[in-house]
Structure formats: C-alpha cells, structure tokens
Amino acid sequence: MTATELSFYDRISDALANPEGQLAIAAGARAKHMNRASAMAEFPNMEITRERARHIRARTLSQLDYFLAQFADNVESLGGHVFWAKDAKECNRYINEIARAQDVQLVAKAKSMLTEEISLNESLQASGINVVETDLGEFIVQLSGDKPSHIIAPILHMTRQQVGNVFKEKLNVPFSDDPATLNAVVRAHMREIFLKADMGISGVNFGVAESGALCLVTNEGNGRLISTTPRIHVAVMGMERLVPTLVDLSTMLQLLARSATGQKLSVYSNVLCGPRRENESDGPEELHIVILDNGRSQILGTSLAEILYCIRCGACLNACPVFHSIGGHAYGSVYSGPVGSVLSPLLFGDSWNLLPHASTLCGACKEVCPVDIDLPGLLLKLRAKESEKGESPLWMRLGQWIYAVTTCNPILFGLALRTGQLISRILANEGWFTKLPGPLQGWSAQRDFPALAQSSFRQMWDKSSKG
C-alpha cells in the first residue's frame, strides 16, 4: 500500500543503518511493553477477561452479517447515514462526494490507521481540500511528510530533538525539545482548526451493534472535538470492528488501553450515538459511517480469520524483538509488527509475502495479545500458503527437498554427517568457520559457525555400546 521503491531487505538495511532511530524505537516500544506488563499485573482476573474478550470477538465474527445489519439499522434509526464500501476507491469517492456537496474546505482528522490504509488524505487533498491531522503524533508525521511507524504511536521513530526541529522549520517557532512547550505550540495551532473545520473524519475503535453507537478512544480529546464541532462527522470503520453490546464494549475497553499504553483507560473514551438531536447543544448536523471491506471479507471464514479479532492495540509491536530492531517503517506497510506481517499479505496481496518470514516465532506477540491471537501460528500458515503455491526462492525449495530426503533416510543422514565432518576437518579453523558460501553467508556476516564434532553422538553411542 504505502509502496516504497525499496525492497524489504533494503528497508531493513536502511533501518539498521540508523542507530538513532533504532534506539528511539526500541526504547519507546519497550517502555510501552513494560507499562503494559505492570498494568496487567495489577488487573484482577486478567486471564479471564482476556478469554472473555477473545470470545466476544469470535462470536461477533462468526455472526458478522447479523451484527453488521443490526448496527447499520440502529445507526440509521438514530439519524446517521451508512455507506457500505467495497474497497478504498469506493470509500474515498463517497467521502469526496459528501465534501463536494457540502462545500467542505477544511477537514480535521483524528488518528485512524484505516484511513492510512486507503490513503484518504491524499485523495481529499487531490480534490483541493485541506486536511489537518489533529492527533499530535499524526500532526508531526503530516508536517514532516513522513508515515506513521507504529499503529498507535505514529512518531515512535522520532526523538524529541527531531520533533523540535520539525516545529522550528514548519511552524516558525523557536527550537525547543521540551514536551510541554511543544504541546502548547500544537494546542494553539489546533484550536483554530477545530473551530474552523467543516468536516471531522475519524476511524472507529468499536461499533456497538445493539445501539448503533460509535466508540472513539483518544488520549488528547481530539476525537471528541472533531466529532462534535464540525458540521459533518465521517467515521470510517473496518467491517470487523464491532462488538454486540455495550457490556461487551466495556470488556474490550478494559483491555485496549492497558494493552496499548498501560493506562487503565484512555483519557477520552467517547461513545457517540447519532448526529445532533433537536434540543442538543453540540454534535454534528450530519453523521456518515462508512463500513469498509477492503479485503476483509475474503479473510473471513478462512483458517486465518483469527487475525480479524485484532483490536489494534499495538501490544504485539511493542513486544516484538524484530520490531524493536527495525521499527515500523521497514515493514513498508501501514500495518507493521507481527499483526502487520499477517495482515499485509492478506489485505494487500502476494507482494507482501516476505513479511511473514520476518519472525523468529518467539511467541512474545501471542503472549501479550489482549484477544490471544495465535500470531506465530498465523505466520506459519502464511508461510505454508506461500510454499504450497511454489513461490519460495529456488535455494529454499532445493534445500528443503534435500533436507527431507536426507532426514527421512538414516543412512543418508549418517552419510551427510560424515560429509559435514570431512568438510569441517578440511576447512574449519580452530573449530570454527568464519566465512560461509551462498545462502549461508548471511550467518557468517555477523557470527561464526561451529565445525561439526569429529565424532557425532551416534558414533560415540555406537562405540560405547560396542566397547
């Protein structure tokens, strides 16, 4: 989606060649990971709540058609409009049409990864509409012409100093790296945007089927402002982001903030029901909810459907040692980390098939997932899907064939051991290889490889049982 020219491997090299960014990412992600751990430790019955949350997601998805219809009916009876968008194009076209019909000049946006997925900002800007991101992190991303590097912390890759420099350059304010000062700058700048905007656009954290309510969760209150001040509020919701009831919502909210940042609850958890009613003093005149498929219905009902349980808390990114090392940008997709490695090939196609290989299957992601998604298992399934289609590299296919033939035959296996011993005897230096050929050179680039033992365990066993 966020297609960059570079290949995955080049992006990895670039990320690793930037120690400053790498440190910022690792420190930021680890801090969130630790906060999550302590929040969960003091949360009674965490495992039971987690199980309940998983059950809620599973039930919702198993009857998604029913809950979507119920949700849409309720939204409409509250006076909102529902639009079903098959893909990014339909979604962007619909929102552009509303903007044109209502003569919208300025759009204030709350943070939403779904709108990143469909490049909504670019689409609106191409029609001459001014779009301003109102989440602090997203605003900085927008100012610096960057992309978010984490699903809930868009500027995880930046240091305070870098943010100070962006502000100095783009907003003409004196340099400062003091968070409070930087915040004050944005606050002054944003207030005007909120008051002037004709349209507010947000994502949806959860839609509540039984009432047609939308839940928006933010820490900065911008979600509340953009959904109440402008004339029109457009909310873009992934078709899987429903919970059946308000009680279910409370279960999910207990886990969402704790998993994401270690907070008990996000600072602003808004539940919005329809547009402004006659005797109400605020709220939008018009509410549009776009329910977006964009590939999700293709995942539903498959063995990979579990990935749709995801509530986008980012805990798996914060726990992932691969993410700590390369950061979000290297993945190249809107969705990074373990969840991104599963979602990207499913939503955006086979060109993302290398992402599932960027995991040691260490399981840290599954351990922290609030809805217990078996992420390593899903990565394995994606790898299996790729190799079934015969799309693995030739050296891998060849190697796997040789490996299987050898290991299924103890005589060949013994022979392979002896060959390895011979090679070790001739080529190893003090029991180590420091340079390996072909596809093995990646290993020797950063570590030595041990020579095979001159007597394998089976040879030793034979000798001792005979002698």
Partner 1 sequence: METRIANIAFVAFVAFVTHPAPVNASPRQKWTENSIIFQSIMNIKMTKTTQSTAQLLVTCMVDAIYPQVGTAVKSILNKNGCEMKFPPQQTCCAQPAFNAGFLKQARAIARHTIDVFTNTAGPVVVPSGSCTDMIVHHYPELLKSDPVYSLKAKKLSERTFEFTQFLVDKLGLTNIGANYNGRATYHPCCHGLRNLNLVRQPSTLLDNVKDLEQVALPCAEDCCGFGGLFSLRMSEISGAMLDKKLNHVEESGANVLIAGDVGCIMHMKGGLRRRGSNIQVKHIAEILNDCH
- Does the protein bind partner 1 through residue 18 (CB under 8 A)? no
Shortest distance (Å) from residue 227 CB to partner 1: 40
Strand 106-109 to 130-133 pairing: parallel
- Does the protein bind partner 1 through residue 357 (CB under 8 A)? yes
The 10 Å Cβ neighbour count of residue 235 is 25
Member of 51, 429, 442, 463 binding partner 1 (CB under 8 A): 442
Closer to partner 1 by CB, 22 or 165: give it: 22
- Does the protein bind partner 1 through residue 78 (CB under 8 A)? no
Member of 9, 73, 250, 351 binding partner 1 (CB under 8 A): 9
- Does the protein bind partner 1 through residue 38 (CB under 8 A)? no
Closer to partner 1 by CB, 37 or 58: give it: 37
**451 vs 433: CA distance, rounded Å:** 7
In degrees and rounded to multiples of 5, residue 398 shows phi and psi of -65, -50
Member of 401, 415, 429, 435 binding partner 1 (CB under 8 A): 401
The distance of Cα 325 from the centroid of its chain, to the nearest Å, equals 16
**255 vs 268: CA distance, rounded Å:** 15
- Does the protein bind partner 1 through residue 429 (CB under 8 A)? no
Member of 166, 242, 257, 322 binding partner 1 (CB under 8 A): 322
- Does the protein bind partner 1 through residue 180 (CB under 8 A)? no
Dihedral sign, CA of 209, 68, 270, 284?
negative
Q: How many residues bind partner 1 (CB under 8 A)?
A: 65
Q: What is the DSSP track for 329-383?
A: GGG-SSS-HHHHHHHHHHHH-GGGTTGGGS-----HHHHH-TT---HHHHHHHHH
- Does the protein bind partner 1 through residue 362 (CB under 8 A)? yes
Residue the block writes with tokens 């003569």 = 103
Closer to partner 1 by CB, 125 or 419: give it: 419
- Does the protein bind partner 1 through residue 283 (CB under 8 A)? no
- Does the protein bind partner 1 through residue 243 (CB under 8 A)? no
Shortest distance (Å) from residue 445 CB to partner 1: 6
Member of 282, 457, 466, 467 binding partner 1 (CB under 8 A): 457
Q: Is 87 within 8 Å of 294 (Cβ atoms)?
A: yes
Q: Is 107 within 8 Å of 314 (Cβ atoms)?
A: no
Host H or E run for residue 85? strand 81-85
Pick the closest to residue 246 from 211, 275, 216 (CA basis): 211
Shortest distance (Å) from residue 31 CB to partner 1: 13
Q: Is 373 within 8 Å of 307 (Cβ atoms)?
A: yes
Shortest distance (Å) from residue 417 CB to partner 1: 6
Residues 364-393 that bind partner 1 (CB under 8 A): 364, 366-367, 380, 382-388, 392
Tally helices (H) and strands (E) across the chain: 22, 12
**205 vs 68: CA distance, rounded Å:** 15
Member of 191, 321, 351, 423 binding partner 1 (CB under 8 A): 321
- Does the protein bind partner 1 through residue 11 (CB under 8 A)? no
- Tell me which residues touch partner 1 (CB under 8 A): 9, 12-13, 16, 22, 26, 30, 321-322, 324-326, 357-364, 366-367, 380, 382-388, 392, 396, 400-401, 403-404, 406-410, 413, 417, 420, 432, 434, 439-440, 442-443, 445-450, 452-453, 455-458, 460-462
